[in-house]
A and B are shown apart, each in its own frame.
Chain A
Amino acid sequence: AQKVTQAQTEISVVEKEDVTLDCVYETRDTTYYLFWYKQPPSGELVFLIRRNSFDEQNEISGRYSWNFQKSTSSFNFTITASQVVDSAVYFCALNSNYQLIWGAGTKLIIKP
């Protein structure tokens, strides 16, 4: 069965702290894709990253970085030096067997 678990329902940090959002997935497929999306308070869903199962290289984009580890079936997302504008719900998703399976989301609150 395919499944995505985001165990952290809500995280609250003070601005400029680093924060890591966890994502653990389950699949029996050897080819799959992992995604992160951001949903700010305004409500739109914004694509952040797509990673395929054969590429375990970590990715960095500005203050955002992603750590993909097949050995632990995890695809964690770190925000460095968080800012108030990072406050949002963040979703991890797994595309396996031609369907996108979503995690329940982690609500991130960045306090000034």
Chain B
Amino acid sequence: DTAVSQTPKYLVTQMGNDKSIKCEQNLGHDTMYWYKQDSKKFLKIMFSYNNKELIINETVPNRFSPKSPDKAHLNLHINSLELGDSAVYFCASSQEISETQYFGPGTRLLVL
């Protein structure tokens, strides 16, 4: 039974489109995250939610909007996709913000 799952695994789309990535965790954790990993493998935190409330909102374009319908889900919606959005997006969760983060398998986004 997968602990942190993301859908889709791969996403190929055209510039200007809107897309969503879904994340679910069955670990009972209170905190969830979205990260972006670029082609050089650098990991950057984008957002963090604790009990459905936004607690970390790094400098990310307004085109990116997270939504947490409940503690177990954190979705990422991206408007007006740009070439530079091509990356791997990871969802993660932890019990508290100082605890170990467990990662989903990643969503590989390619914008053409």
Contact = CB atoms under 8 A, between A and B. Distances in A.
A55 interface: no
Interface string B71-111: 00000000000000000101010000111111101101000
B42 A50 contact: no
B41 A39 contact: yes
A44 B41 contact: no
Contacts, number: 43
A99 B102 CA distance: 15
Interface residues of A, number: 20
A60 B105 CA distance: 27
Main SS at interface, chain A: strand
A105 B41 contact: yes
| Chain B, interface residues (CB within 8 Å), range | 20 to 34
B100 A47 contact: yes
Given A91-B43, A105-B41, A43 B102 contact: no
12 contacts: A33-B98, A39-B41, A43-B105, A45-B103, A47-B101, A50-B99, A50-B100, A89-B41, A100-B45, A100-B101, A105-B42, A105-B43
